[in-house]
Amino acid sequence: MRDLKRAALSAVASAAVFTALPASAQTEFTGAGEESELDCGGGAATIEGASNVLTITGACTSLRVTGASNRITIDLGKVSTIRVEGADNEIRWRAPGAAKPRLNVVGAGNRVSRLR
């Protein structure tokens, strides 16, 4: 009986710990013509869509954009990658110190620049 009570208390304590944890950061976005703020929480961000205006925080390690005419402002970590596939996307990034992301940009009219 004591083992059963101990197991029940342990399960309740574990459930309390899990409910106290913060929700995981939103790292994926799919849409068209939307304006939104995301937090990649130090992870990767993936964007699919067109004509979106997005602000992404959280020292992202990578950004992958597939689509057209997106306007994205992103905070990057020291080591990061930006991949863009599509047309007329504008990516403005900031990173600590002199850090620069690795770039892989495919498509016409895409612009990737550091925020000043």
> Across residues 34-48, what is the average pLDDT?
95
- 60 is in which domain, residue-wise? 28-114
Cβ neighbours of 101 (radius 10 Å): 23
pLDDT at 21 exceeding the cut of 50: no
- Work out the pLDDT band at 23, boundaries 50, 70, 90: very low
Task: Give the whole-angstrom CA distance, residue 17 versus residue 11.
Answer: 10
Terminal CA-CA length for the chain:
66
Residue 8 confidence class, pLDDT cut points 50, 70, 90:
very low
- How are beta strands 35-39 and 102-106 bridged, if at all? unpaired
How far are the Cα atoms of 7, 21, 68, 82, 110 from residue 113, in angstroms, in the given order? 55, 36, 17, 11, 10
Query: pTM of the full predicted structure?
Result: 0.77
- Residue-averaged pLDDT of the chain: 85
**Total structural domains within the chain:** 1
Q: Is residue 20 part of a domain?
A: no
Query: Is residue 3 included in any domain, yes or no?
Result: no
Cβ count within 10 A of residue 30: 12
